[in-house]
Amino acid sequence: MNYFEFYELPLQFHPDLNVVKSKFYAFSKKFHPDFYANESEEKQQEVLDLSTLNNKAYQTLSNPAKLLKYVLELKGVVQTDEHYQLPQTFLMEMMDVNEALMDMEFEPDASKLLTVQAEVDAIEEKLFGELKNLTDLFDQTGGNENTLLAIKDLFYRQKYLNRIRERLPKG
Per CATH, which fold does 3-62 belong to? Helix Hairpins (1.10.287)
Using CA atoms, how far apart are residues 78 and 97, in angstroms rounded to an integer?
26
Measured CA angle at 69 (ends 144, 164), to 5 deg: 115
Contact 10, 142 (CB under 8 A): no
- Could you give the residue ranges of the DSSP H alpha helices within 36-144? 41-61, 64-74, 88-106, 110-141
Predicted confidence at residue 150, as pLDDT, reads 97
Q: Quick one: average pLDDT of 57-71?
A: 97
Q: Give the residue extent of every domain in the chain.
A: 3-62, 88-167
Determine phi and psi for 81, rounding to 5 degrees. Answer: 60, 30
Angle between helices 145-167 and 64-74 (to 10 degrees): 140
Q: Which residues make Cβ contacts (< 8 Å) with residue 34, sequence separation at least 6?
A: none
Q: Quick one: average pLDDT of 20-46?
A: 93
Q: Quick one: average pLDDT of 19-32?
A: 96
Using CA atoms, how far apart are residues 116 and 92, in angstroms rounded to an integer?
15
pLDDT above 70 (res 94) = yes
Lowest mean pLDDT among 88-97, 102-111, 141-150: 102-111
Q: How confident is the model at residue 155 (pLDDT cuts 50, 70, 90)?
A: very high
Q: Quick one: average pLDDT of 157-166?
A: 93
- Give per-residue pLDDT as tens, 102-131: 888 888 888 888 999 999 999 999 999 999
Contact 9, 139 (CB under 8 A): no
Q: Which residue has the higher pLDDT, 113 or 57?
A: 57
Q: How confident is the model at residue 139 (pLDDT cuts 50, 70, 90)?
A: very high
Predicted confidence at residue 117, as pLDDT, reads 92
